[in-house]
Amino acid sequence: MLDMKLVRNEPELVKENIRKKFQEEKLPLVDEVIALDKEYREAKVQGDSLRAERKSKSKKIGGLVGKGDQAGAEQLKAEVAAMGDALAALEEKEVQLQQKIREIMLVIPNIIDPSVPIGKDDSENVEIERFGEAYQPAFEIPHHVDIMERLNGIDLDAARRTSGSGFYYLKGDVARLHSAVLSYARDFMIGRGFTYYIPPYMIRGEVVTGVMSFAEMENMMYKIEGENLYLIGTSEHSMIGKFIDTILPESELPQCLTSYSPCFRKEVGSRGIDERGVYRIHQFEKQEMVVICKPEESMRWYDVMWKNTVDFFRSLDIPVRTLECCSGDLADLKVKSLDVEAWSPRQQKYFEVGSCSNLGDAQARRLGIRIRREDGSKYFAYTLNNTVVAPPRMLIAFLENNLEADGSVRIPEALRPYMGGQSKLVPPAT
């Protein structure tokens, strides 16, 4: 959410940012919210003036009574009562205007960083760098579900019967691999100086609207019927929400957190659910990283965070690349975002396995997360988030890139301690 002062003082900057995001339908909102803001400030001035006048007259009533001027006192009481009614109407108007202003401000997109490439959608995202050799083995790579089934590690049919499309049962070595990757990710991030958390898996509605846009909320979140609770789509939601309405001393920054959670997503939209496989599903698990820091340090942490993900995947012998998200592909709260994509030797292309985002002070403004300087002054924090790893999607890249010609799957050295020392997964004898 933008600072109202910015919208008021630099409306053309805000409109140009909307154009860069190809959301021209939102342009009228800028003038509308400026007009509402003017009306609100005028109502507030009237209210403050009326409150001061009422206070002054109220003080005089006692003096008139003391002098025996009962008629004068009654007259002032009537005037004070009338002012009270007028003031109540003004205060109600202020509340209504504040609500309308907030509703619009939640829809106006955040100002993107000047370095963000301009483009309409994800087809215009820009490749930045590749890490590791993207190769094609001499043998054919099967679909990831076929690899899992040969390892007796997945049951999609049973999941469809119990839960429907977009769910899965993992079992045996594949289930163990899934857990091993998450345990390794936990320790990897602790080793990088991040504090480990297991957060709540449900959050209140005011936290949801604080961490994401309405469009994301509608397409992602599952609501608990009859309660003001939502299942989280990522642990970022509850980790950022942890700081709602708090003031952090500068001496306690940065806050570097890494969190495990299951994630639940409706996945509404054109891409839909992966009917055969585990790429786009309703339920998965993830290790996340979150940083809360000073504004001037946010871009440095942005680089640290995406590099952590690259290093994690490279430690498992998975080639990756980084992709800069263009303006039209940025969610409304984001200032800058970069995707980490893993190489798929079966498809001969890269696919997304993580996303690193700098959200500026947008979430902090919505949730009231502030920082206190040594002199006592306060300002809004900057928040960032990034995926460390999100199996089972990551398992696709892992299985394809570590598959051997005989159908076995090599376990990289870094993961072997979490797999009981196993160096490979071998299909059971038939």
Give the amino acid at 128.
I
- Any idea which residue has 């004070």 for tokens? 80
What parts of the chain have a pLDDT lower than 70?
A: 268-275, 430
Record the tokens describing residue 100, joined without a space: 């309308």
Give the amino acid at 123.
S
**Of 135, 143, 148, whose CA–CA distance to 177 is shortest?**
148
Active site (catalytic) residues = 265, 280, 352, 355, 393
Give how far Cα 189 sits from Cα of 252, 287, 292, 303, Å.
19, 9, 16, 15
Question: Buried b / exposed e across 265-280, counting CB within 10 Å, b at 16+?
Answer: bbbeeeeebbeebbbb
Q: Convert the pLDDT of each residue in 285-319 to its tens digit.
A: 999 999 999 999 999 999 999 999 999 999 999 99
Task: Outline where 112-247 has alpha helix (H).
Answer: 144-150, 156-162, 172-191, 205-211, 214-220, 235-241
Record the tokens describing residue 116, joined without a space: 């963000």
The DSSP element (H or E) to which 154 belongs, if any, is strand 154-155
- pLDDT for position 56: 81
Q: Is-contact 233 265, C-beta < 8 A?
A: yes
- pLDDT for position 58: 77
- pLDDT for position 275: 67
Q: Is-contact 367 245, C-beta < 8 A?
A: yes
- pLDDT for position 143: 95
Q: Convert the pLDDT of each residue in 119-168 to its tens digit.
A: 999 999 999 999 999 988 999 999 999 999 999 999 999 999 999 999 99
Q: Is-contact 275 165, C-beta < 8 A?
A: yes
**Of 158, 150, 144, 153, whose CA–CA distance to 172 is shortest?**
153
> How many Cβ atoms sit within 10 Å of the Cβ of residue 8?
15
Q: Convert the pLDDT of each residue in 372-412 to its tens digit.
A: 999 999 999 999 999 999 998 899 999 999 999 999 999 99
The answer to pTM > 0.85 is yes
CA–CA distance, 128 with 310 (Å, rounded to integer): 13
- pLDDT for position 271: 63
CA–CA distance, 83 with 247 (Å, rounded to integer): 37
Ordered by where they begin, the domains of the chain are 4-105 (1.10.287.40), 122-425 (3.30.930.10)
